[in-house]
Amino acid sequence: MTDTIKVPTMAEMFAAGEKPEVLFWVGCAGSFDDRAKRITKAFVKILNKAKISFAVLGTEESCTGDPAKRAGNEFLFQMQAVTNIEVLNAYEIQKIVTACPHCFNTIKNEYPGLGGSYEVVHHTQFLKELLKEGRIAMEGGTFKGKRITFHDPCYLGRANGVYEAPRELIRKLDAELVEMKSCKQRGLCCGAGGAQMFKEPEKGNKDVNIERTEQALETTPDIIAAGCPFCNTMMTDGVKHKEREADIKVMDIAELIAAAEDL
């Protein structure tokens, strides 16, 4: 595993008079959460290897406002949105890729009404594009015979209709894709959305992530794949709760690909 990664910032590129092909929107989880940072790095390694011209905003990036909006604080959301849009527009950003479906949904759907229109893609869509254009190659084989089940993030799947990109990538890994009883349109939430990540759940029989983990375990998977840092945390906690962390891994699609390519 190589540890040196190149992460150009927008400010540097702008100063050098360069324009990246795509802006990588890292997101709060991807920047600060220890588990999610590994996803961020895995994705950057793939970008580096494929020599994709990209940049991050770094310290100029701020929360998209998604959790504020979904908690009901429209005012805070719009303050965040307008601030971010000013930065993005100042850099004349056109295309944005992000590994967080919440950032993806907010920037793609809610920013245009506030003056920020960009082409926004989820990292699984972006990787699929790169693969199709032959800009990254995947050997496959590493995961041969492994059972992988994919947990649909609500804000990628139901909210935006992206179901196939992550699945196509998993199939490319030569792995066996096994579906849970609730998948795609009927996928079950991990329990983190709508700002639930930041509060204690309401009283019930069990937590949503446990229910979802049980559905995942029914497929007797080797790996539970996710495409969202929050889903990743929830499922990881679920697997721990079931004391299965020794034999079942929860991995982001970017991490799967980075592992397959031995990055």
Partner 1 sequence: MQYLPNILFVVVLLIGTGYFAKNVGKLRRNILLGKDTDVSDDRPTRWRNMLRIAFGQSKMVVRPVAGLLHVIVYVGFVIINIEVLEIVIDGIFGTHRVFSGLGPVYDFLIASFEILAFLVIISVVAFWVRRNIIKLQRFLKPEMKGWPKKDGNLILYIELVLMFLFLTMNAADFRLQQLGAEHYLQAGSFPVSQYISNWFIGMDIPSLIFLERTAWWLHIVGILFFLNYLYFSKHLHILLAFPNTFYGKLGPKGKFNNLEAVTREVKLMMNPNVDPFAAPDDAGDVPSKFGASDVMDLSWVQLLNAYTCTECGRCTSECPANQTGKKLSPRKIMMDTRDRLEEVGKILDANKGEFKEDGKQLLDDYITREELWACTSCNACVEACPVSIDPLSIIMDMRQYLVMEQSAAPSDLNNMMGNIENNGAPWPFNQMDRLNWSKES
Query: Which is closer to partner 1, CB of 73 or CB of 94?
Result: 73
Shortest CB 43 distance to partner 1, Å:
11
Q: DSSP for 183-238?
A: -GGGPPP-S-TTTGGGSPPPSSSS-HHHHHHHHHHTT--SEEEESSHHHHHHHHHH
Structure tokens at 26: 């890292």
Query: Which is closer to partner 1, CB of 189 or CB of 248?
Result: 189
Give residue 41's Cα distance to chain centre. 12
Rounded Cα gap, residues 245 and 237, in angstroms: 9
Rounded Cα gap, residues 115 and 156, in angstroms: 23
Query: Which is closer to partner 1, CB of 78 or CB of 142?
Result: 78
Shortest CB 18 distance to partner 1, Å:
18
Query: Which is closer to partner 1, CB of 158 or CB of 244?
Result: 158
List C-alpha distances in Å: 259 to 10, 29, 141, 158, 186: 28, 21, 11, 28, 29
Rounded Cα gap, residues 142 and 262, in angstroms: 9
Could you tell me which of 183, 186, 232, 178 has the C-alpha nearest to residue 209? Answer: 232
Query: Which is closer to partner 1, CB of 81 or CB of 173?
Result: 81
Shortest CB 86 distance to partner 1, Å:
8
Shortest CB 167 distance to partner 1, Å:
18
Shortest CB 65 distance to partner 1, Å:
7
Shortest CB 226 distance to partner 1, Å:
15
Query: Which is closer to partner 1, CB of 86 or CB of 139?
Result: 86
For tokens 């840092």, what's the residue?
Answer: 229
Rounded Cα gap, residues 26 and 39, in angstroms: 10
Query: Which is closer to partner 1, CB of 3 or CB of 92?
Result: 3
Cβ atoms of residues 106 and 65 within 8 Å: yes
Shortest CB 263 distance to partner 1, Å:
14
Let me know if 202 is exposed, middle or buried by CB neighbors in 10 A (0-12, 13-18, 19+): exposed
